[in-house]
Structures are given as structure tokens and as C-alpha cells.
Amino acid sequence: MKKYIFLSLAMALSIAACDNTANHHVVLQQEVIAVHDSIMPKMGTFVRDNLKVGILLTKMDSLKQANPSLDTAQEKAQLTKLQSKLTEVNEEMTDWMHNFEPAQEDKKPEEIEAYFKNELTKIKALKEKFNEAEEESQRVLSKYK
């Protein structure tokens, strides 16, 4: 009888441990997706901002006529840098999305956990880049509104 109780208890603990591990993977995956979802709306804004920058770069002569004290070389350099940054972060996000593998059923629990922890680190770093690009874009483009 004690054998059956011990065996039942061991099985119950094993099942609970598996469920806890599976839940942890789900929580990590949900956290990755949540960070991704917080970045996505910025991609559209960056595309629009990138278009604005392109227009401003082509109209530098008109801007100089409207404001003769404007240092067009400095403005052009600042706008070009912003354009590169906006393009870069959008491309990084697109690459991350193409490489992200949410289905991990064929892997061991420790591999799944390591994968989602790594992806969480990547997407959090990407979110930081998006925040920096957003701040720079707002700062640079605010004088052209």
C-alpha cells in the first residue's frame, strides 16, 4: 500500500512539475509577444516619419529660402542620420519577426525555456532601440510641423 501511495505521489509531483514548466514556457512566450505587440504600432509611425524625412531632404532648397539662417548641411546630416536609424530599426524588427519560432513542441523543456529567454532578451533590446529612435524622430521632426 505504501508503495502505491509513494508511486502516486511521485507521479503527481512529476505531472505538476511538467505543468509548471509548460506554464513557465507559456508565460515567457506571452511576455515576448507582449513586448513585440508594444513595438508594432511604432513601425507604422516610423514608415510615415521616414517618408517625411525623405520629403524634407528633397526640399532642402525650399526650406533654406523660407529660413535663410538654416544650416542646411547640418539639417541634411541630421535628417539622413534619422532616416538611417528609422530604416535600421524597422528592418531589425522585420528580421526578428521572420526568425521568431513560436512553435517549439519538438524541443526539450530546457531548450524551449532557453529559446524564449533569448528571444525576450532580443526583443527587449529591440524595444529600447525603438524607443531611442522614436525620441530622436520626435525631436528632429518637431521643428518641421
Can you give the pLDDT at residue 1?
A: 44
The residue among 41, 35, 37 whose CA lies nearest residue 124 is 35
Taking the model in full, what pTM does it have? 0.79
pLDDT of residue 12 exceeding 80: no
**Number of domains into which the chain is organized:** 1
CA distances from 97 to 27, 33, 40, 74, 130 (A): 19, 10, 11, 35, 15
Whether 30 maps to a domain, the answer reads yes
Residue 7 falls within a domain, yes or no?
A: no
Q: Is 3 contained in some domain? A: no
Q: What is the pLDDT of residues 69-105, one digit of tens each?
A: 989 899 999 999 999 999 999 999 999 999 999 888 8
- Is 127 a member of any domain? yes
pLDDT band at 47 (very low <50, low <70, confident <90, very high): very high
Give Cα 12 distance to the centre of its chain.
39
pLDDT of residue 9: 39
Q: Does 6 fall in a domain?
A: no
- Whether residue 12 lies inside any domain: the answer is no
Q: What is the pLDDT of residue 49?
A: 96
Its domain, for residue 134, covers 22-144
Structural domain contains residue 104: yes
The answer as to whether 13 is a domain residue is no
